[in-house]
């Protein structure tokens, strides 16, 4: 196994510390019981703890009134369904935002208040959630391929996702901090050119680098990848997701909802998971995707904490 970074796991990125009550997952950790069944069985067989997560029932706080209301968001998913059904009948794909506007779904969502939260805010909440799943804002998300069928996460990995990686690599020779920069291939084998200047000949190679690496042309393929592959690599966008973990001495919140959302705000960190409801530990995890994730990634640690605490204030209930 040849790995460019100085650690294995890629976007599975578990951090542990004596001062934290549970493993911190900076990459993937939200799973779906049905679509990730094989993965969950594997984690269970390795003794990695996962916890049920109460899906899309969320406590929505309107930033203006600083009041939190527990509700299940049905307005947002219904509007997205209307928009994608409309888009399916169109001759060309468009962004989810365009389909929400042109189909009239955004307008009808805006007129359907729910549990004291305005319909427009419910749609905003659901779009923020979708961007944490797809890494794309509604203005970038495809109506044909992006929005519908996004999984609802109902299981969280809380016992160290990286155990699965280290177990899989047990006995496998692994070269860290070694980037592959060239791949020549034919029926008789594969030659790998490494960033260190060395070359390696192997019978077969499986390439699992991220799309962005292929788009940047960081690996020179000889011959070029098939035209259909290059077309697909060129056509697909890269998403962005950022995760913020905050640990508190004791809970400042009174809600036992596992998912929180702040609506009606310019702040970016609006989607939160309350791990106290899931694990008993006073830990909150903010997740942000798309344009908001790119903005959050540029904040300093201090700015990030300020932004997070501002977004969480309405949940303190005074
Ligand atoms: C913050 C965040 C949260 C996420 N949350 C979830 C979630 O909750 N649930 C979910 O299902 N998914 C989630 N995802 C997505 C999920 O993590 C990824 O889809 C998945 O881990 C990708 O796995 P992969 O093996 O395809 O790529 P990666 O995990 O990115 O692995 C690719 C590896 O290739 C290495 N590499 C790159 N270039 C080279 C080179 N030239 N030579 C050698 N090695 C190279 C990289 O260093 C990396 O280790 C999240 C992603 C992020 C970033």
**Residue 89: strand, helix, or coil:** coil
**Residue 164: strand, helix, or coil:** helix
Q: What pLDDT is stored for residue 119 in this prediction?
A: 86
Please tell me the distance from the alpha carbon of residue 70 to that of residue 289, in angstroms, as a whole number: 23
Contact 128, 108 (CB under 8 A): no
User: Which segment of 37-46, 261-270, 277-286 scores lowest on mean pLDDT?
Assistant: 261-270
Ligand 1 centroid from CA 139, angstroms: 24
Contact 283, 246 (CB under 8 A): yes
Tokens of 126: 């659901």
| pLDDT, greater one: 189 or 270 | 189
Contact 127, 79 (CB under 8 A): no
Ligand 1 centroid from CA 115, angstroms: 38
Q: What pLDDT is stored for residue 115 in this prediction?
A: 67
Quickly count: other Cβ atoms within 10 Å of residue 287's Cβ: 23
Contact 290, 131 (CB under 8 A): yes
Tokens of 19: 């001062």
The closest-lying atom of ligand 1 relative to the alpha carbon of residue 29 is 8
Ligand 1 centroid from CA 40, angstroms: 18
pTM of the full structure: 0.90
Q: To test ligand 1's pocket by mutation, which of 11, 35, 183 has the most ligand atoms within 8 angstroms of CB? A: 11
Ligand 1 pocket residue status of 40, Cβ below 6 Å: no
Ligand 1 centroid from CA 105, angstroms: 34
Please tell me the distance from the alpha carbon of residue 154 to that of residue 51, in angstroms, as a whole number: 8
Contact 50, 43 (CB under 8 A): yes
Contact 240, 294 (CB under 8 A): yes
Render pLDDT for 4-52 as a digit per residue (tens, 0 to 9): 999 999 999 999 999 998 999 999 999 999 999 999 999 999 999 999 9
Ligand 1 pocket residue status of 205, Cβ below 6 Å: no
Ligand 1 pocket residue status of 241, Cβ below 6 Å: yes
Ligand 1 centroid from CA 170, angstroms: 20
| pLDDT, greater one: 184 or 122 | 184
Percent with pLDDT over 70 in the chain = 92
Whose C-alpha lies nearest to ligand 1, atom 48? 10
Q: Does residue 64 surpass a pLDDT of 90? A: no
Whose C-alpha lies nearest to ligand 1, atom 6? 28
SS3 content of the chain, % helix, strand, coil (to 5): 30, 25, 45
Please tell me the distance from the alpha carbon of residue 103 to that of residue 156, in angstroms, as a whole number: 35
Please tell me the distance from the alpha carbon of residue 138 to that of residue 173, in angstroms, as a whole number: 42
Residue with tokens 């799973």: 31
Q: DSSP secondary-structure letter at 155? A: E
Angle at which helices 119-134 and 290-297 cross, to 10°: 70
Q: To test ligand 1's pocket by mutation, which of 205, 209, 273, 290 has the most ligand atoms within 8 angstroms of CB? A: 209
Residue with tokens 């196994």: 1
Render pLDDT for 231-258 as a digit per residue (tens, 0 to 9): 999 998 889 999 999 999 999 987 778 8
């Amino acid at each position: 196994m040849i790995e460019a970074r100085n650690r294995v796991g890629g976007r599975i990125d578990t951090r542990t510390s004596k001062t934290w009550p549970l493993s911190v997952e900076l990459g993937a950790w939200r799973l779906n019981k049905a679509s990730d069944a094989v993965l969950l069985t594997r984690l269970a067989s390795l003794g990695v703890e996962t916890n049920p997560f109460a899906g899309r029932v969320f406590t929505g706080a309107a930033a203006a009134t600083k009041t939190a209301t527990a509700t299940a968001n049905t307005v947002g998913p219904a509007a997205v369904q209307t928009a994608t059904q409309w888009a399916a009948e169109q001759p060309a794909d468009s962004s989810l935002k365009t389909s929400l506007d042109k189909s009239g779904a955004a307008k009808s969502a805006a007129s359907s208040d729910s549990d004291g939260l305005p319909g427009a805010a419910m749609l905003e909440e659901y779009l923020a959630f979708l961007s944490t799943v797809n890494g794309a804002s509604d203005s970038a998300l495809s109506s044909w391929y992006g929005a519908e069928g996004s999984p609802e996460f109902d299981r969280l990995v809380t016992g160290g996702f990286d155990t699965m990686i280290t177990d899989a690599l047990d006995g496998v020779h692994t070269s860290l901090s070694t980037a592959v920069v060239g791949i020549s291939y034919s029926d008789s084998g594969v030659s790998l050119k490494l960033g260190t200047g060395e070359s390696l000949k192997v019978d077969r190679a499986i390439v699992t680098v991220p799309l962005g690496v292929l788009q940047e042309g960081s690996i020179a393929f000889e011959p070029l990848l098939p035209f259909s592959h290059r077309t697909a690599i060129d056509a697909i966008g890269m998403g962005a997701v950022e995760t913020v973990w905050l640990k508190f001495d004791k809970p400042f919140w009174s809600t036992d909802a596992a998912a929180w959302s702040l609506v009606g705000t310019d702040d970016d960190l609006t989607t939160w998971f309350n791990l106290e409801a899931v694990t008993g530990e006073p830990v909150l995890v903010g997740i942000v995707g798309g344009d908001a994730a790119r903005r959050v990634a540029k904040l300093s640690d201090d700015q990030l904490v300020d932004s997070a605490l501002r977004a969480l204030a309405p949940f303190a209930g005074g």
